[in-house]
Structure 1
Amino acid sequence: MSDRFRKFVQIIGSGPHTGKHLTREDAAEAMEMMLLETATPAQIGAFLIAHRIVRPTGAELAGMLDTYAKIGPQLQPVASHDRSPVIFGIPYDGRSRTMPLAPLVSLILTAVEIPVILHGGDWMPTKYGTPLIDIWQEWGIDWTQMSLDRVQHTFATTGLGFIYTPTHFPAAAGLTPYRDQIGKRPPIATLELMWCPYAGDAHSIFGYVHPPTEQTALVAATLRDTPHKITTVKGLEGSTDLPRDRAVIIGVHRAGQDLERIFLHHYDYGLSNVNPPLLTNPEMMAEFALVLAGKPSNLLDSVLWNAGFYLWHCGGASDMAAGMKLARELLTSGAVSKQLERIKESI
C-alpha cells in the first residue's frame, strides 16, 4: 500500500464538510501514481469514485494533464505541414445513439492539407458505445497494430494520425477496468478530452455534454498557459460532431483573450433537424461508402454540415457556406476517397 496515495484519497474522500481538493502538484503526483500503479487497485478505485462525487477542479485537471504530457506519447511536428494539426478529443466511451462523423470529417480536412490527430481506444465503460477505431478497421486501416513510429510516418505523409491508447499509452489504458468496476465515468474522462498528444502548436477541439465540464476544462487550460487555440463543442453525445436537432454552441478560447461564442442553426443552411441514428457496422459503412462516392444518403447532410464548419473554423474556407460547398466538391470529385487510399497505402 502507498501511504502517500492514501493521503490523496483522504483529502478528496472526507465528505462535504472536511473534504478538500488537491493542489495541482498533488493531482499530478496522484495521476502518475495511478498510471505507474504505485497505488494499489483498492486505492485507485477509491480515488476515482471519490473524485467522481466531489468533481475535479480546474487546478486538479491541470495537474493531471501535466502528468499526461510527461508520460504519454506525442507525435512530432512535421516540417512539410503548413498548418498546425487539429486534435479531436472525442469521448472514449463511443457512440450509442447517433452515427460518428469525425472519421469522414478528418478525411475531408486532411484532403486539403489540414492535419488531424485522433486518439482513443476500444469499447469503453460505462457506455460501451461504438469506438472510432472500429470504423478505421472497417476501412482496412488498423491503427491498433502500428508502432508509434509508424503512426508518425503516416501522419507525416498523409496528415492523419491516430494514437491508439492500448498500444501507444498502455498505462492510461490500464485504468479502463476501474470504470467498469465502479460503474461510473471518472474525472479522468474529462482530461482525456483535453489531452493533446502532440509536441508542437496545435488546435485542440473537444466535445462536452454538461456546461460545467467546459468551464472546468478552460480553467485548466488557462492554468497550464496553453498557448494554442482550444475549441469546445456541445456536440452529439459529448463528441465534436455538430447536432442538427438543436442550436450548436461552440466556444473558442485563445490565451489571454475572452471566450468567443459561435452559435449555429441547421435551418440557416437549409438542413432538417434530424441527426442520423447509429446503425450496425455494416449498415454504417454502407452509408459511409455513399458519402465517399458523393452520392445522396441519409448521412450526407450531416457530414457537409460538420465538414463545412471545420473547414471554415480551421482556415480551409472563408465561411460556413463556402466550407459546405468545398466539402461537397471534395466528395464528388473523389478527392476524399483518394485521401483514404493514400492513408491505406502509407501503413
Structure 2
Amino acid sequence: MSQTFRELLKTIGSGVHTGKDLSRSEAAEATRQMLLKEATPAQIGAFLIAHRIKRPSPEELAGMLDIYDELGPRLDINHLPFEKPVVIFGNPYDGRTRTVSVSPITTLMLVASGVPVVLHGGDIMPTKYGLPLVTLWQGLGIDFTQKNFTKAQEFLEKTGLTFIYLPTHFPLAYDLVPYRDQIGKRPPIATMELMWLPCTGNIHPISGYVHPPTEERFLKTFAMKGISYFTSIKGLEGSCDLACSRTAIIGFGQGGESPFFERFLLDPRDYGFSPTDVHLESTEQAIALMQELIQGQDNELKDAAILNGGFYLWRCGVCDDLKAGFEQAEVMLKEGKLAEKLKEMASL
C-alpha cells in the first residue's frame, strides 16, 4: 500500500467540511501512482469515487493532464505537410447510445480539406457502454485498432488523420477502465480525457461537454496548460457533434497576443436545417447511414452532416463564413470527395 497515496486520498475523501482539493502537483502524483499501480486497487477505486463526489478542480485536472503528457503517447506533428493547426477532438470515451454520430463524416471533410485531425479513445466502455468512434471507423473500412504507435504516426503523416487507441497506445490508462464499471460512475478522468492532447505545437483542441460547469473547468484548465486557442461544444451526448434539434452553445478560445473567450450560438433553423436528430437504433444502422452519405446518397443524416461539416470547415479556417462552410460541405458530399479520401485511407 502506498502511504503517500493514502494521504492524498484522505485529503479529497474527508467530506464536505474537512475535505480539500489537491494541488496540481499532488493531483499529478496521485494520477502517476494510479497509472503505475503503485496504489492498491482498493485505494484507486476509493480515490476515483471520492474525486467524483467532490468534483475535480481545474488545478487537479491540469495535474492529471501533466502525467498523461509524461507517461502517455506523444505524436510528432512538427514536420507534418499541412498548414492548418492539428484538430484534436475530445469526445466521451463511453460513446453514444441515443443519437447517430456524424463525427467520422466531419473528420473526413476536414482531412479532405487539408485540416489534420487526431482522435483518441477505446472500445465499448463503461459506464455508458455506447457506440465508440473506433467501431464506426472500422465499419467504414479503417481499423485503427490494428496500428501500433509507429504506424499511427505514419498514418497521420500520409493521410492527415490518426487515432490514439488506448488498449494499444496507452495501456497504462486503459488499465483504469474496469474501475469505471466497478464504481458505476464516470470518474474525473473522463472529464480530463476531453481535454487530453497527445501532441503539442500548432494544435486546435475541440472538447465536447454536457454540463456548463464542465466548460468552466475547460477554460481554467486550458489556461493553466498554456492553451488559449480552442473550441468547446455543448454537443450531442457530450460529444463534439452539434445538435440539429436545439441551438448549439459554442465557446471560442481565441489565441494571439491578447487571448479572450467568445460565446457563439448557432440555431440550425436559421439556416434551414431539419430540427431533429437521428435516433440511434443499431451499429449497423449508423454505419449504413454514413456509408450512404459518403457515396453521395441522400438520407435522414444529411442535415446533421452538412451542419457539422460546414461549421467545422468555417471554424478551422477552410471557409470564410458559415454559409460558405455549409455550401462546401454539401458539395463535398455530392461530388464524392469523402469517398475519394476514404478510399485513399483504406488503401494504406
TM-score, normalization by structure 1: 0.97
Question: How far, CA to CA, are the matches of 1:307 and 1:344 in structure 2?
Answer: 21
Consecutive unaligned residues in structure 1, runs of 5 or more: none
- 2:339 maps to which residue? 337
Question: How far, CA to CA, are the matches of 1:209 and 1:282 in structure 2?
Answer: 26
- 2:260 maps to which residue? 258
Instruction: Note if contact 2:101-2:286 (Cα within 8 Å) is conserved in structure 1.
Output: no
Question: How far, CA to CA, are the matches of 1:56 and 1:281 in structure 2?
Answer: 33
- 1:317 maps to which residue? 319
- Letter of the aligned partner of 2:235 in structure 1? G
**How many angstroms does 1:200 deviate by?**
2.1
- Letter of the aligned partner of 2:282 in structure 1? T
Instruction: Note if contact 1:116-1:159 (Cα within 8 Å) is conserved in structure 2.
Output: yes
- 1:171 maps to which residue? 172
1:201-212 → structure 2 map (5 Å cutoff): 201-212=202-213
Instruction: Note if contact 2:249-2:264 (Cα within 8 Å) is conserved in structure 1.
Output: yes
Question: How far, CA to CA, are the matches of 1:234 and 1:116 in structure 2?
Answer: 20
Question: How far, CA to CA, are the matches of 1:289 and 1:24 in structure 2?
Answer: 45
**How many angstroms does 1:286 deviate by?**
1.7
Secondary structure in structure 2 of the residue aligned to 1:242? coil
- Letter of the aligned partner of 2:82 in structure 1? H
**How many angstroms does 1:199 deviate by?**
3.1
- Letter of the aligned partner of 2:230 in structure 1? I
Question: How far, CA to CA, are the matches of 2:32 and 2:227 in structure 1?
Answer: 21
- Letter of the aligned partner of 2:236 in structure 1? L
Question: How far, CA to CA, are the matches of 1:79 and 1:58 in structure 2?
Answer: 31
**How many angstroms does 1:216 deviate by?**
1.2
**How many angstroms does 1:321 deviate by?**
1.1
Q: What's the CA shift string for 1:120-156, capped at 9, x where partnerless? A: 0011111100001111111221111101110111110
**How many angstroms does 1:173 deviate by?**
0.5
Question: How far, CA to CA, are the matches of 1:139 and 1:308 in structure 2?
Answer: 21
1:1-347 → structure 2 map (5 Å cutoff): 1-77=1-77, 78-227=79-228, 229-255=229-255, 256-346=258-348
CA-atom RMSD, angstroms?
Answer: 1.0
Instruction: Note if contact 2:306-2:329 (Cα within 8 Å) is conserved in structure 1.
Output: yes
Question: How far, CA to CA, are the matches of 2:221 and 2:285 in structure 1?
Answer: 40
Question: How far, CA to CA, are the matches of 1:90 and 1:316 in structure 2?
Answer: 22
Secondary structure in structure 1 of the residue aligned to 2:29? helix
Question: How far, CA to CA, are the matches of 1:233 and 1:284 in structure 2?
Answer: 22
Question: How far, CA to CA, are the matches of 1:329 and 1:258 in structure 2?
Answer: 34
Question: How far, CA to CA, are the matches of 2:231 and 2:103 in structure 1?
Answer: 15
- Letter of the aligned partner of 1:63 in structure 2? G
TM-score, normalization by structure 2: 0.97
Instruction: Note if contact 1:294-1:328 (Cα within 8 Å) is conserved in structure 2.
Output: no
Name the count of aligned residue pairs: 345
**How many angstroms does 1:226 deviate by?**
2.0
Secondary structure in structure 2 of the residue aligned to 1:17? coil
**How many angstroms does 1:40 deviate by?**
0.5
Q: What's the CA shift string for 1:240-288, capped at 9, x where partnerless? A: 0001111100001135523101100011110121001113122222211
Instruction: Note if contact 1:208-1:214 (Cα within 8 Å) is conserved in structure 2.
Output: yes
**How many angstroms does 1:83 deviate by?**
1.2
Q: What's the CA shift string for 1:38-82, capped at 9, x where partnerless? A: 100000000000000010000000110111111111211134111
Instruction: Note if contact 1:61-1:217 (Cα within 8 Å) is conserved in structure 2.
Output: no
Consecutive unaligned residues in structure 2, runs of 5 or more: none
- Letter of the aligned partner of 1:275 in structure 2? D
Question: How far, CA to CA, are the matches of 2:183 and 2:174 in structure 1?
Answer: 16
Greater shift, 162-171 or 69-78, is seen at 69-78
Q: What's the CA shift string for 1:264-320, capped at 9, x where partnerless? A: 001111012100111312222221122112221000110000000000000011111
**How many angstroms does 1:201 deviate by?**
2.0
Question: How far, CA to CA, are the matches of 1:84 and 1:12 in structure 2?
Answer: 38
**How many angstroms does 1:174 deviate by?**
0.5
Greater shift, 294-303 or 284-293, is seen at 284-293
Runs of 4+ with >6 A deviation: none
Question: How far, CA to CA, are the matches of 1:243 and 1:69 in structure 2?
Answer: 32
Greater shift, 295-304 or 218-227, is seen at 218-227
- Letter of the aligned partner of 1:151 in structure 2? A
